[in-house]
Amino acid sequence: MIDALTGAVADACARHTTDPDTPAELNAPLWEALDQIGVLGLGVDEEKGGSGGGLEELVAVLGVLGENAAAVPFAETGLAAWILAEAGVQVPEGRLTVAVSDGLEVATGTDGTVEVSATLPRVPWGEAAEHVVVLSGTTLAVVARDQYQVTSAQNMAGEPRDTLVLAGARPVGGQTWPVPAGLTQAHEQRLSVLRMAQMAGAARRALDLSVHYASERQQFGRSIDRFQSVQHQLASLASEVLVCRTAAKSASLALTRGDATFALAAARVAAAQAAGVVAKLAHQVHGAIGFTEEHTLRLSTTRLWAWRDENGSVHQHASLVGQQALDAGPDSLWDLLVRA
């Protein structure tokens, strides 16, 4: 099933490639194709408004989209739908995104309606989304696009990371909902897994581009992949790509099993370090051409750098791993490692 699913998504990506000159612009034809395939609600049970499937299928599809630098809010929509399903809230149709805020103000307007206000920075695909799901402490709100103002911004890969201003916005359904216990932390963990899946795909594309370039670039009368030093770089690059893929898969399995705090943090550290090495080696193989606007390598490596630093830094995840290892102590450290 996964092979058929990823094959269909890869075919859609091939038919509707993202314009490298406008990476912040929604790839609407690809989004429609994904909708027709029926994967937009992947990872959410059908009885809750999703398309069925589990985290494993969702991670596999995100790997393909990451590999193709797809300019669509697939991860964000899937994450928002999952949050709403877990909270027992009807999932609206269309593109969704998620914002976490500690400053959402809820008030009752002069006509008795509920109004919410907050400034939400760096929201992925905030302008293209049709609804934003706001998690704020114990309060959850769903706000439609016509209820908030947008200031556009981008991450280093050119992906939208907009600031949304909700000023007396009327939430969907005229109400807010309570956040189930543990949902905010679970959202952070699920987001970590989704970003690692995207990173694994981007790393794979960086490897493919590097192998192809090295086979074509001629130096001293032969292709540069005939030189041992370049062969070593490509071999190291391939091994780090495998680390990215393994980290995403192991994190997905750990999250599906249950308590995954230690395993997820360890996977994030491994994936982030591997992503940095992949980007460095890919650019070394390509030489200066890889940094230019004209070359598509930047679409993969800038995403690796951007996604690596989202949802917590490497230092934060490494500190968590170290602290949990210390807390476990010599008598329980082995069990902690085995469970991860």
pLDDT digits over 308-324, tens only? 989 888 999 999 999 99
Buried b (16+ CB within 10 A) or exposed e, 279-296: bebbbebbeeebeeeebe
Buried b (16+ CB within 10 A) or exposed e, 32-70: ebbeebebbbbbbeeebbbbebebebbbbbbbbbbbbbb
Q: Provide the whole-model pTM.
A: 0.94
**Which DSSP string do the residues of 65-94 spell out, in sequence order?**
HHHTT--S-HHHHHHHHHHHHHHT-PPPSS
Residue 259 above 80 pLDDT? no
- pLDDT value, residue 223: 96
The pLDDT assigned to 197 comes to 97
For the cut 90, the answer to whether the pLDDT of residue 211 exceeds it is yes
Question: What is residue 318's predicted lDDT score, i.e. its pLDDT?
Answer: 95
Lowest mean pLDDT across 209-223, 281-295, 314-328: 281-295
How many CB atoms are closer than 10 A to CB 241?
26
Report which secondary-structure segment, H or E, holds 206: helix 183-216
pLDDT tens figures, 218-254? 999 999 999 999 999 999 999 999 999 999 999 999 9
pLDDT of 110: 78
Beta bridge partners of 223: 218
